[in-house]
Amino acid sequence: MTGTTQDDYTDRYARRVSGMTTSEIRALFAVASRPEVVSLAGGSPYIAALPLDAVGEMMQKLAAQQGTTSLQYGIGQGTVELRERICEVMALSGITNASPDDVVVTVGGQQAIDLLARLFLDPGDVVLAEGPTYVGALGVFQAAQAQVHHVAMDADGLIPEALEEAIASLALAGRRVKFLYTIPTYQNPAGVTLSEERRERVLDICERAGLLVVEDDPYGMLSFEGEAPLPLRARRRDGVFYCSTFSKTFAPGLRVGWILAPHAVREKLVMASEANILCPSAFAQGAVTQYLTTMPWQEQIKVYREVYRERRDALLSALTDLMPAGTTWTRPAGGLFVWATLPEGLDSKAMMPRAIAARVAYVPGTGFYADGTGRGNMRLNFSFSAPDRLREGVRRLAGVMEQDLAMRAVFGGSAAISSQRRRGPAAGDTPGPDLA
């Protein structure tokens, strides 16, 4: 054995490496996927609801009959067939003026965010994002050496006044803000949705401030209570980058997402993607194209909606029945997540090892903030586990919380635990949604 287990490379890393951290969700993956653990962590769709035999037949044909193209290299932007289907999908969400020419196919929604970061972010630039926000987006912005400034939400999503205030204070401080990254619909992790009325206001504020808007919309089709509000991109064409993915409407294992970009930017996005991955998988693109063309995919979305609504209801009921007093949570009208706020003094991050020992997993709120806040919160996923498992998970989680609360009552741990609740500079702006 040589000395390779030590990091002899420290002095050679690029500066951006210092900003890279393992996401808490990723680190939990191994533990949370053990069968005895009820996982309320992760964001995995319920793939077993797919007609796997029919998908298998589709895959067979794609290789056997179209292999010379589906197994070959393709163009960096993605196939025109898939980009046409993507425009049809977006039209169902109300984006009716998209051209396939302005769509760039990506490796899931993650590469979409990353490409936009590559295109727009220099070290030191500021990105505005909801607080809390998608952990994978935080990873992108950190790797880009950008600073994330969180903007508070309430039950109606991003608070326009908080957005205006953030823009004003950053302008005063001489900071360069490049864009607002937002998940307006069935937000991850908060489970809230930006209201109709606020959508126009948020767009107006960004337009006035000369801010681009990156609209991330992976969950918009997974509504439980009527249709989702129109996407921002359906209301405003200029300055809005619309990102989505087939990970939640079909299957994440194919890694197919997309960006709808203003025309002038599209070519640069393709160049950035080519430098990154040369071209997206022709096979995965063919699979999604076939799925959208030959299979009843809109019916399948209804199946997902039904399954997830039932699970959301089961989770919400269990929370109502079992959680200690002082716990609050959001009530999502779609998507995959509930955001819970713990009774004063509990620390979701410190509690994790005890939760895992009690065979339940969640993601501590800190994973969704760039500034260390979120110890009083946790994200609970309801898409992956069956209703009775969800209830059992909440039962275990409530047990751990009750124990922590009892310890705190006995030892008066309030001060000790509070001191762990590190507050970053933007803490005042980021209470997180706290909506029973």
Judged by CB under 8 A, does residue 31 bind a copy of itself? no
Which among 46-54, 153-161, 342-350, 422-430 is the span making contact with a copy of itself, rule CB under 8 A?
Answer: 46-54
Using the rule CB under 8 A, which residue among 282, 323, 355, 370 binds a copy of itself? 282
Which among 160-168, 216-224, 262-270, 407-415 is the span making contact with a copy of itself, rule CB under 8 A?
Answer: 262-270
Compute CA 411 distance to the chain's CA centroid, rounded to the nearest angstrom.
Answer: 38
Q: Which of residues 206-225 bind a copy of itself (CB under 8 A)?
A: 212
Spell out, one character per residue from 312 to 351, where the chain touches a copy of itself: x when CB under 8 A holds, - when not. ----------------------------------------
Q: Of the two residues 27 and 357, which places its CB atom closer to a copy of itself in the complex?
A: 27
Number of residues near a copy of itself (by CB under 8 A): 97
Using the rule CB under 8 A, which residue among 28, 37, 104, 110 binds a copy of itself? 110
Judged by CB under 8 A, does residue 299 bind a copy of itself? no
Using the rule CB under 8 A, which residue among 38, 39, 41, 42 binds a copy of itself? 42
CB atoms within 10 A of CB 402: 14
The residue written with tokens 């960096």 in the block is 76
In the complex, the smallest distance separating the C-beta of residue 41 from a copy of itself, rounded to whole angstroms, is 12
Judged by CB under 8 A, does residue 124 bind a copy of itself? no
Judged by CB under 8 A, does residue 301 bind a copy of itself? no
Judged by CB under 8 A, does residue 30 bind a copy of itself? yes
Using the rule CB under 8 A, which residue among 91, 168, 171, 275 binds a copy of itself? 275
Q: Which of residues 135-174 bind a copy of itself (CB under 8 A)?
A: 136, 139-140, 142-143
Which among 283-291, 310-318, 354-362, 371-379 is the span making contact with a copy of itself, rule CB under 8 A?
Answer: 283-291
Confirm if 258 and 284 have CB atoms less than 8 A apart.
Answer: no
Judged by CB under 8 A, does residue 381 bind a copy of itself? no
- Show the CA angle centred on residue 345, arms to residues 340 and 350, nearest 5°: 75
Q: Of the two residues 379 and 408, which places its CB atom closer to a copy of itself in the complex?
A: 379
Judged by CB under 8 A, does residue 129 bind a copy of itself? no
Which among 215-223, 260-268, 324-332, 386-394 is the span making contact with a copy of itself, rule CB under 8 A?
Answer: 260-268
Q: Of the two residues 76 and 131, which places its CB atom closer to a copy of itself in the complex?
A: 76
Judged by CB under 8 A, does residue 416 bind a copy of itself? no
Judged by CB under 8 A, does residue 73 bind a copy of itself? yes
Confirm if 365 and 375 have CB atoms less than 8 A apart.
Answer: yes
Using the rule CB under 8 A, which residue among 28, 87, 93, 114 binds a copy of itself? 114
